[in-house]
Every structure is written in structure tokens, then in C-alpha cells.
Amino acid sequence: MSTIDSALDEIMRLDNTSREMLLDILKKRQIEARRNEIAKQARKSLKDYHAGKLQPMSLEETLHMLGSL
């Protein structure tokens, strides 16, 4: 049995209220982790910009690049 399956089995043994609390906590932690990842990428981008590693782009170029992600 995988670790995830084991964890899910344990979680399903909890009462409904506890499972809902756990789900809420996991959602909030995931949001915080994503927020931290975005902030880290933003700091790197600013560092690269100030170091002259990024070239200016037009709005059209930027939208095209973002559309291809």
C-alpha cells in the first residue's frame, strides 16, 4: 500500500468535522506554499532585471509569451 493510500485510510477514520478541518488546513497551507513560490519567482525576476539579464518586451510579445505557457 502506498504512503498516500495509508494516509487517506487514516484520514477516513476521522470524524466528519476533523476531516473538514484537515481539508481546510491543507488548502490554506497549499495557498501559502504557492504564494511563497510566486514571491520567490518574483524576487528572482527582479534580480535578473536589475542585473540586465531581461530584455524589454512589447505588450504583444509579453501576451504571446504568456499565452504559450
pLDDT of residue 67: 87
Residues 6+ apart with CB under 8 A from 19: 11, 12
Assess contact for 32 and 24: CB atoms under 8 A: no
Give the pLDDT of residue 13. 97
Q: Name residues of the chain where pLDDT drops below 50.
A: none
Q: What is the pLDDT, as a whole number, of residue 69?
A: 67
Query: What does the alpha-carbon distance between residue 68 and residue 10 come to, in Å, rounded to a whole number?
Result: 41
Q: What pLDDT sits at residue 20? A: 98
At 38, list the grid cell.
510566486
User: How is the chain split into domains, by residue range?
Assistant: 3-67
